[in-house]
Amino acid sequence: MAGKIVANGLKFVDVFAGCGGLSLGLERAGWECMVAIEKDQHAFQTYRENLLDTKPHGLRSWPSDVAVKPWDIACFRRECASFLENARGKVDLLAGGPPCQGFSHAGRRQVGDPRNSLFLDYLSLVADLKPKAVLIENVKGFTADFGGGLPGAGRNFAAELRERLEVDYRIADTVLMASDFGVPQARARFFLVGVRRDLGASVGVSAFFEQLHARAPAFLASRGLTPSTSARDALSDLEVDIAGKVPCPETSGYLAIAYKGPRSRYQSAMNAEHASAPSDTRLARHAPEIVARFADIIRTCTEDGRLNRSISKELRDRHGLRKMALRVLDPLSPAPTITSMPDDLLHYREPRTLTVRENARLQSFPDWFQFKGKFTTGGLARRREIPRFTQVANAVPPLLAEQIGSCLAGLLRRG
């Protein structure tokens, strides 16, 4: 993601900021973040250490009347009323991705999940700030009706969002595939862009996503990239057989992947601003029988042409597995959508799960970006904590966010 950052004079607020994927991409496109709102302490620690405490990669300022700490929106609105009042009408963009677990087809998809209503909190900030533009990201399931005859069946959150925003904003929305924008991951996500109706730029909103697609090849070429990036393009320099192992500098008793340098244009772009080995390469400690199982699964899926797809029932039965989502990466194609579960994906040639850094590569995080907090968690803690694997999985790919930010800045400048 090398490239000189040129400030465009536009400012944004990032809500549900997570570890900072969306903020990073927007800043790479020249935007300046006024403030970021994120509730989870682990995700905010990652955000702070990459985008606040060290500033060579961003253009960030932070208001003096807003504490640098994790916030939920209700608390932020209550305690930062002076910031909201002073910023009203001065924010160019309110961006964010409300938590998606209740909408996702990969999860339990419950209409009553309390996290589903967080998009209403986003709308409360729209009313507070009256930004020139809005940007919302969510899972594809956000656009689907809830069914099953349960209370709330038929409810469609994307339709509700459109209806509420269209009073003051002209909007466009679509489902984007991250792999169309150089990200080595077939990640389908809902995006909505809106511009306030009293601004001339609003007339161009209807063509926004068409223009975004049209600009992608030239944008990627300027970074030395192409629209089609495979898993091997992203990860081959992190293969243990090539790079070797070292004691993990972050966790005693673990091994990590060593580093000898990039082997593809994509890897060079991710490593361009980093002078040393990337962090977060801690390897899982698989028992010998698990290694043997993974080796058989990788070999069988490769022979059967079943890469990037859930393993077959026969293979599950052979190994006594109940897990339905396990897939082996196809080295010649973009990865499937990564998830917060470290054991959902197996490496394409090495009998192991992926590291946090490898997932980050598939999300287009540059190698200088370091993740903080626990590596993973389980049980009920999954609802309370956002460890590193989940931070990566929940993020907007920065490379895609940068292209959206560049296109949106062009739209607002024309208006």
Q: Going from the N-terminus, what domains does the chain have, and what CATH number goes with each?
A: 11-226+396-414 (3.40.50.150), 231-373 (3.90.120)
Both tokens of residue 5? 């950052």
304: CB partners within 8 A, 6+ apart: 312
- For residues 66-87, give the mean pLDDT: 94
- For residues 293-313, give the mean pLDDT: 97
**Band of residue 98 on the pLDDT scale cut at 50, 70, 90:** confident
Q: For the segment 84-95, what is each residue's pLDDT rounded down to a tens digit? A: 999 999 999 999
Whether residue 145 has pLDDT greater than 70: no
Torsion of CA 12, 188, 178, 9, to 10 degrees: -10
Q: Report pLDDT for 384.
A: 73
Q: Report pLDDT for 39.
A: 94
Q: Report pLDDT for 5.
A: 77
Whether residue 113 has pLDDT greater than 90: no
Q: Report pLDDT for 380.
A: 65
Q: Report pLDDT for 103.
A: 44
With both helix axes pointing from N to C terminus, report the angle between 118-129 and 157-165 in degrees, rounded to the nearest 10.
10
Q: Which position has the higher pLDDT, 54 or 80?
A: 80
Whether residue 214 has pLDDT greater than 60: yes
For tokens 């998606």, the residue is: 100
Torsion of CA 231, 235, 240, 242, to 10 degrees: 110
Q: Report pLDDT for 151.
A: 45
Catalytic residues: 100
Whether residue 246 has pLDDT greater than 60: yes
- For residues 135-147, give the mean pLDDT: 76
- For residues 274-281, give the mean pLDDT: 89
Q: Which position has the higher pLDDT, 201 or 156?
A: 201
**Band of residue 104 on the pLDDT scale cut at 50, 70, 90:** very low
- For residues 383-396, give the mean pLDDT: 91
**Band of residue 63 on the pLDDT scale cut at 50, 70, 90:** confident
Give the global pTM: 0.92
* Lowest mean pLDDT segment, chosen from 43-47, 102-106, 129-133, 169-173: 102-106
